[in-house]
């Protein structure tokens, strides 16, 4: 079956700030309460999307979520922003929905028993500022993936027993995108000493069942607790995959089944080649591994890897061995400072031609939409943001006005928060 893999990237929201909310995410904690640049962050993310689009790779955009989260403010009994405590203000203003690798788990129709694309929004219960995204994420996805080709499931129950972090802990391997594949779910370990796990085995098993996956083609891998305690909060910080290529660090998992390693092209990066601490600091594995329309694979890596001698050498080794054609280093520094590289900013979905045509047309990136979004960002976004700026009543007005115009641009209704 002919199919292509498309990317859907999250537009960085106008309230992008460094609040250090993600315990276990070293970059987020390190840059807490420093100055952010929302305008630059949004343009960097958009430029990455345009780069992929220009390579001929199908690219969609996901809108930011309305912030501040008005519904939470009302639920907690606060009259307005000025009465909200600082520690809560940071969370209801968070622009973390930009990292749509956490938005959902998507199984392509080639893998499912009913031949449909199955979508489960992540509940993200491990962090309050992420957990409040789930209902709006589901609302957006239903508007984007419309029609009988798609099955939308509710987020799993909001308990840590079913903690689900979306595609950041999900991979798929196949000989080609349209072939039946092996879906891999990565879950946490209770043996961590410093940082708690985020993805539960029960959540992963529930999604596999809901998506009607073949148990013989479904694999569950447990994270190495040493890696989690080193700052590998999600699997996409220590592994990447595309079609039959699976690249991961030797300290990523408790074990990897031999049959998986025999069936697919597996590359293991050793601790000697790249230290675990450097994996985390460079986000080496949080790169996008993608197939070009003319064939062959490339890597979209963060600029931080180009500046790191060992990370760059590892990428050069992949090129010299003919595993990938080229590595492109892109600047997503504003996202990196908050704990998300190129792969964090995108959600992947394999689509047949019929499925692709059913998608809401206005979210597909093209030159006209790119230029319109650039103008939109420059009109509404600030170029400087500190935690104290969240007290500014004008910020909420600016944010809601920006999303109202975006709604008109891409034809997506923004759910009232």
Domain ranges of the chain: 4-410
Q: Is 234 a catalytic residue?
A: yes
Region 253-262 average pLDDT: 95
Cβ atoms of residues 160 and 195 within 8 Å: no
Annotated active-site residue in 177, 234, 249, 308: 234
Whether the pLDDT of residue 416 is over 80: the answer is no
Chain-wide mean pLDDT for the chain? 95
Collapsing DSSP to helix, strand or coil, 395 comes out as helix
Whole-structure pTM value:
0.96
Q: Is 165 a catalytic residue?
A: yes
Strands 265-269 and 245-249, sheet pairing:
parallel
CA 281 to chain centre: 18
Give the range with max mean pLDDT: 1-10, 337-346, 368-377. 368-377
- The C-alpha angle 343, 99, 92, rounded to 5 degrees, equals 165
Q: 297-329 pLDDT, tens per residue?
A: 999 999 999 999 999 999 999 999 999 999 999
Query: What are φ and ψ of residue 121, in 5° steps?
Result: -60, 145
**Measured distance CA(39)–CA(43) in Å, rounded:** 6
The tokens for 275 are 């230290």
CA 412 to chain centre: 20
CATH number for the region 4-410 comes to 3.75.10.20
Annotated active-site residue in 5, 165, 183, 243: 165
Q: Confidence class of residue 1 from pLDDT cuts 50, 70 and 90?
A: low
Collapsing DSSP to helix, strand or coil, 61 comes out as strand
Whether the pLDDT of residue 119 is over 60: the answer is yes
Position 86 scores a pLDDT of 84
First-last CA distance in the chain: 41
Q: 390-399 pLDDT, tens per residue?
A: 989 899 999 9
Q: 204-250 pLDDT, tens per residue?
A: 999 999 999 999 999 999 999 999 999 999 999 999 999 999 999 99
Annotated active-site residue in 118, 129, 344, 355: 344
Q: Give Cα separations from 311 to 223, 271, 305 (angstroms).
A: 22, 12, 5
Q: 396-415 pLDDT, tens per residue?
A: 999 999 999 999 999 999 87
**Measured distance CA(86)–CA(343) in Å, rounded:** 31
């Amino acid at each position: 079956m002919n199919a292509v893999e498309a990317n859907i990237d999250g537009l960085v929201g106008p309230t992008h700030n460094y609040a250090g909310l993600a315990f276990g995410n070293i970059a987020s904690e390190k840059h807490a309460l420093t100055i952010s640049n929302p305008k630059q962050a949004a343009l960097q993310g958009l430029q990455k999307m345009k780069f992929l689009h220009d390579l001929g790779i199908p690219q969609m955009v996901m809108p930011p979520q309305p912030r501040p989260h008005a519904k939470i403010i009302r639920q907690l009994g606060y009259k307005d922003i000025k009465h909200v405590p600082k520690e809560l203000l940071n969370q209801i203003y968070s622009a973390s929905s930009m990292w749509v690798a956490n938005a959902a788990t998507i199984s392509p129709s080639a893998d499912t028993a009913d031949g449909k694309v199955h979508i489960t929004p992540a509940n993200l219960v491990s962090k309050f500022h992420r957990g409040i995204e789930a209902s709006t994420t589901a609302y957006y996805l239903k508007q984007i993936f419309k029609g009988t080709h798609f099955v939308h499931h509710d987020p799993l129950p909001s308990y840590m027993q079913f903690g689900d972090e979306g595609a950041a802990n999900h991979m798929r391997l196949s000989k080609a995108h349209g072939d039946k594949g092996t879906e891999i779910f990565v879950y946490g370990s209770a043996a961590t000493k410093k940082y708690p796990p985020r993805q539960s085995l029960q959540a992963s098993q529930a999604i596999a069942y809901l998506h009607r996956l073949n148990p013989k083609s479904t694999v569950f891998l447990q994270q190495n607790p040493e890696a989690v305690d080193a700052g590998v909060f999600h699997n996409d910080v220590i592994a990447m995959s595309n079609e039959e290529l699976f690249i991961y660090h030797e300290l990523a998992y408790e074990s990897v089944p031999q049959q998986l390693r025999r069936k697919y092209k597996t590359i293991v990066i050793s601790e000697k080649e790249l230290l675990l601490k450097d994996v985390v600091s460079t986000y080496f594995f949080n790169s996008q591994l993608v197939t070009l329309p003319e064939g062959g694979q490339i890597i979209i890596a963060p600029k931080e890897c180009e500046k790191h001698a060992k990370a760059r050498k590892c990428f050069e080794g992949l090129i010299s061995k003919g595993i990938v054609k080229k590595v492109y280093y892109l600047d997503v520094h504003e996202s990196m400072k908050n704990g998300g590289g190129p792969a964090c900013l995108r959600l992947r979905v394999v689509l047949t031609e019929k499925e692709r045509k059913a998608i809401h047309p206005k979210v597909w990136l093209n030159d006209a939409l790119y230029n319109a979004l650039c103008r939109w960002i420059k009109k509404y976004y600030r170029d400087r943001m500190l935690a104290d700026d969240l007290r500014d009543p004008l910020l909420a007005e600016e944010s809601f006005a920006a999303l109202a115009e975006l709604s008109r641009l891409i034809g997506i209704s923004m759910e009232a928060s």
